């Protein structure tokens, strides 16, 4: 049999559906571009119903939008809306981060935006856990999934590896205080891989510091990309 004979037409429909059902939405859309036969399979309502349920379980009863005739159309509409909202968070972080460094107030604000937008794990995985984005955005997505959504650590670790960002590093610097006064020479820092944050290799120190933010015990907290070229010095607090 020649190579050209290995096509959708040589497979039973149930086998083709089984193959397509194992794919995520981006891969399913790519497969649909291969041929007219695959396109017919990949737009099947049963496939997109499953993807909708997995990504937005609360919308399962509302997937018959009058502007779309099928679940794929509804999925695309929802995805574009989530993408637009994610871009607002991305722009916020990029505008507020100076030389790869972000103040903890802005960091926590970005996380609160994701919570207000009701982002789910799949939304974060598809839109924020990407190698082309700033590692600070990767960290924000990781932190949100772990602490706010309470996604099991092994799912997040799997997402980091599949997104090829598990070995990226972040550095957190903070300045402890005593009786509302800075402790001279007391600046502390911790650089850690994203994969180790999920596994708690740092004993939870980094995420705990970030959660506490600039409290009366910490006069300054800053998170940065150690490879951004920034020296990461803490700003003076008046």
pLDDT tens figures, 138-186: 999 999 999 999 999 999 999 999 999 999 999 998 877 655 455 555 7
Q: How many CB atoms lie within 10 A of CB 73?
A: 15
Residue with the bigger pLDDT between 6 and 91: it is: 91
pLDDT tier for residue 10 given thresholds of 50, 70 and 90: low
Q: 203 and 227 in contact (C-beta within 8 Å)?
A: no
Q: How far apart are CA 187 and CA 132, in angstroms?
A: 31
**What pLDDT sits at residue 219?**
56
| Token pair belonging to 72 | 């794929």
Of the listed ranges 75-79, 119-123, 212-216, the least confidently predicted one is: 212-216
Torsions phi, psi for 79 (to 5 deg): -65, -45
Locus of tokens 């086998």: 15
**What pLDDT sits at residue 211?**
86
Spatial CA neighbour of 209 closest among 94, 107, 90: 107
Number of H helices, E strands in the chain: 11, 5
Locus of tokens 């070995």: 167
Q: 27 and 47 in contact (C-beta within 8 Å)?
A: no
Q: 54 and 45 in contact (C-beta within 8 Å)?
A: no
Domain ranges within the chain, ordered by starting residue: 13-61+69-73, 90-223
- The beta-strand segments (E) located in 100-224 are 101-103, 169-178, 181-182, 188-193, 218-224
Q: Over the stretch 213-235, which tens digit does the pLDDT of each residue have? A: 756 555 567 888 887 654 433 33
**What pLDDT sits at residue 180?**
45
State the maximum Cα–Cα separation within the chain, in Å, rounded to a whole number.
80
Q: How far apart are CA 131 and CA 111, in angstroms?
A: 19
Q: How far apart are CA 93 and CA 86, in angstroms?
A: 11
3-state secondary structure of 175: strand
**What pLDDT sits at residue 46?**
85
**What pLDDT sits at residue 123?**
94
């Amino acid at each position: 049999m020649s190579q050209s004979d290995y096509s959708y037409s040589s497979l039973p429909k149930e086998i083709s559906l089984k193959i397509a059902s194992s794919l995520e939405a981006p891969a399913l859309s790519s497969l649909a571009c291969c041929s007219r036969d695959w396109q017919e399979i990949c737009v099947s309502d049963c496939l997109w119903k499953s993807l909708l349920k997995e990504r937005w379980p609360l919308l399962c009863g509302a997937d018959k939008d009058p502007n779309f005739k099928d679940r794929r159309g509804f999925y695309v509409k929802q995805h574009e809306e989530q993408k637009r909202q994610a871009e607002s968070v991305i722009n916020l972080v990029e505008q507020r981060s100076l030389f790869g460094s972000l103040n903890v107030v802005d960091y926590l604000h970005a996380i609160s935006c994701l919570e207000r937008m009701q982002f789910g794990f799949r939304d974060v995985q598809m839109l924020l856990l990407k190698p082309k984005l700033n590692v600070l955005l990767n960290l924000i997505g990781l932190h949100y999934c772990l602490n706010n959504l309470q996604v099991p650590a092994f799912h997040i670790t799997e997402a980091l590896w599949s997104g090829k960002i598990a070995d990226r590093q972040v550095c957190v610097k903070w300045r402890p205080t005593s009786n509302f006064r800075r402790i001279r020479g007391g600046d502390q820092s911790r650089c850690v891989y994203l994969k180790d944050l999920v596994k708690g290799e740092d004993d939870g120190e980094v995420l705990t510091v970030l959660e506490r933010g600039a409290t009366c015990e910490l006069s300054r907290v800053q998170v940065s990309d150690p490879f951004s070229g920034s020296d990461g010095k803490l700003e003076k607090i008046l």
